[in-house]
């Protein structure tokens, strides 16, 4: 599952799909490095295609939050039910905006 990254004005769009696990760390790391370089005002992670997210995936989302400036708003969009459930259970819905 390649992480697809695109930029529109000051926004970064990261689209993930399939299983977001440790196996995706390389693609995610590259995207993160790229986003750090561009310094967008906001980041939207599109998760409609993600059917499963493990603890490594959650760790990577937390790293995204840590490595981007606090002023950069990060939202997770179109989460599937199973993913939304684990985000709520871990209270990550209080760190990211779910939309």
Distance CA 40, CA 17 (A): 22
| Per-residue binder mask for other proteins (CB under 8 A), 70-89, x = binder | ----------------x--x
Q: How far is the CB of 89 from other proteins (least distance, A)?
A: 6
2 three-state secondary structure:
coil
- Under rule CB under 8 A, residue 91 binds other proteins: yes
32 three-state secondary structure:
helix
Q: Footprint of other proteins on residues 6-65 (CB under 8 A)?
A: 21-22, 25-26, 29, 32, 53-56, 58-60, 62-63
45 three-state secondary structure:
strand
């Amino acid at each position: 599952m390649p992480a697809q990254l695109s930029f529109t004005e000051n926004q970064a769009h990261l689209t993930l799909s399939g299983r977001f696990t440790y196996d995706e760390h390389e693609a995610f790391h590259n995207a993160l490095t790229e986003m750090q370089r561009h310094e967008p005002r906001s980041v939207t992670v599109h998760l409609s295609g993600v059917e499963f997210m493990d603890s490594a995936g959650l760790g990577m989302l937390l790293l995204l939050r840590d490595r981007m400036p606090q002023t950069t708003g990060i939202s997770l969009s179109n989460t599937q039910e199973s993913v939304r459930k684990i985000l709520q259970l871990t209270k990550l819905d209080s760190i990211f905006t779910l939309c």
